[in-house]
Amino acid sequence: MLVVDDRRDRSQPLGVASRSDVEVLEGRGAGPAAARNVGWRASDAPWVVFVDDDVVPTDSWLTDLGADVLGAALDVVAVQGRVTVPLPAGRRPTDWERNVTGLESARWITADMAVRRSALEKVDGFDERFTRAYREDADLALRLQAEGGKLAMGRRRVSHPVRRAPWWISLRLQAGNRDDVLMAALHGRRWQGDDAPRGRRRRHLLTTACGVMGLAGLALRRPRVWRSGLAGWAVGTTELALARILPGPRTLREVGAMVATSVALPPVASWHWLVARATRRRLLRKPGPRPGLSASSQLA
C-alpha cells in the first residue's frame, strides 16, 4: 500500500507510517492531482486503485475489488467503487451533509477508483493544474474516454463519513468555479453532459449584477435604478436561502448560517468565476499532461 503524504505541515507524525505494509511517499503539497501522480508513478501494478483518506472500505472491499478488476472487459480502463454517505438519524440533513451526499451519485470520482496503469501512462495521469479536490477526476475520466477507454461501475463499496466543517464551508467551496472554467477551456463548454450538475452560476451572476446595480444606483442617487437592483438582489438572495433552508433541519444555527452565507455566496462564486475567466490563458500556459509519455521516461 502506498500513502502519499501531501501535507504542507508535517510537524505531526503520520498515523500509518509505522505499519510494515505501508510505504509513505512525500508529496509536494500541490493538491490531490499531483499527489496521485506521485503514487501511481511509484507503483508497478497493472491496476492502480486511488482511495481517499476520508473513506472507510467495507470488510469485503479487497475481495470485491479483485472481482471488479478481474471481471473488467479489455476495453474498460477504470472501475469506480460505490460510495455511501452515512447521515444522522432522526433529523433532516444539513446543507453541508446534503453536499457530501452528492458523492453517492457522482460519476468517476476518485474517492475509490481503480485505473489500468497502461491507461494512466497513455494520458500521463492527472492534470496538476487542478490544485483542489475538484474536477481533477472528471478531467481524467474525459481524457480516458477520449482515448477510447470505457469506465465502469464496480460492486465494491466504501463509506464516506461527513467530516466536521465550519459554518461558512459553502463559501470556501465556491473556489471550484475556477476549476469549472479550466474544464470548459480544456474540454469545451458542454463538457458536463449528464454526469455533472451545472449548479447555479447563472443565478449567482444575475443576483450579483442586481446587487451591483443597486449599489451603483444608490451612489449615483438614481432611485429607480437602486430600487430595481436591490429588489432583484433581494429576490435572488431570498430564493437561494429558502432553497437551502427548507430541505434542512431548520435549527436556529442552520438557518442563521444559511441566511448569512446566502448573502455572500453569489458574489463569492461570481468573483471566482470571473477571475478564472480573466486568467485562464495564463493557466493554460502552465505545463499539463503529456499523453504518451510513460512514467519511466519522465523519471529518467
pLDDT in tens, 87-142: 999 999 999 999 999 999 998 999 999 999 999 999 999 999 999 999 999 999 99
User: Amino acid identity of 14?
Assistant: L
Contacts of residue 17, Cβ cutoff 8 Å, sequence gap at least 6:
24
pLDDT by residue, tens only, the chain of 300 residues: 888 888 887 777 777 756 778 888 888 888 999 999 999 999 999 999 999 989 999 999 999 999 999 999 999 999 999 999 999 999 999 999 999 999 999 989 999 999 999 999 999 999 999 999 999 999 999 999 999 999 999 999 999 999 999 999 999 999 999 999 999 999 998 887 655 556 799 999 999 999 999 999 999 999 999 999 999 999 999 999 999 999 999 999 999 999 999 999 999 999 999 999 999 999 899 888 988 655 444 433
Residue with cell 474536477: 135
Domain span at 71? 2-165
Query: Looking at 149, 165, 181, which one is the last position of a domain?
Result: 165
Residue 68: CB atoms within 10 Å: 21
Count CA within 13 A, CB hemisphere, residue 226.
Answer: 9
- Answer yes or no: is 67 within a domain: yes
Query: Looking at 165, 196, 227, which one is the last position of a domain?
Result: 165
- Answer yes or no: is 298 within a domain: no
- Answer yes or no: is 295 within a domain: no
DSSP symbol at 18:
T
Give me the number of domains the chain comprises.
2
Distance CA 261, CA 257 (A): 6
Say what the alpha-carbon torsion angle 276, 278, 279, 282 is, to the nearest 10 degrees.
Answer: 140
Nearest to residue 41, comparing CAs of 127, 117, 141? 117
Same domain? 127 vs 161: yes
The C-alpha angle with vertex 250 and arms to 244 and 256, in degrees rounded to 5, equals 75
Same domain? 156 vs 195: no
Q: Which grid cell sits at 22?
A: 505501508
Distance CA 202, CA 76 (A): 36
pLDDT of residue 18: 63
Same domain? 109 vs 183: no
Same domain? 153 vs 247: no
Query: Looking at 108, 140, 165, which one is the last position of a domain?
Result: 165
Same domain? 46 vs 95: yes
CB 73 within 8 A of CB 11: no
Same domain? 229 vs 253: yes
Same domain? 70 vs 201: no
Same domain? 139 vs 261: no
Helix ranges restricted to H, the chain = 32-41, 61-70, 95-101, 117-123, 136-146, 169-172, 176-187, 201-220, 223-245, 252-284, 295-299
> What pTM was computed for the model?
0.88
- Answer yes or no: is 177 within a domain: yes
- Answer yes or no: is 293 within a domain: no
pLDDT of residue 298: 43
Same domain? 180 vs 159: no
Residue with cell 500500500: 1
31: domain CATH number is 3.90.550.10
Same domain? 180 vs 106: no
Distance CA 152, CA 123 (A): 18
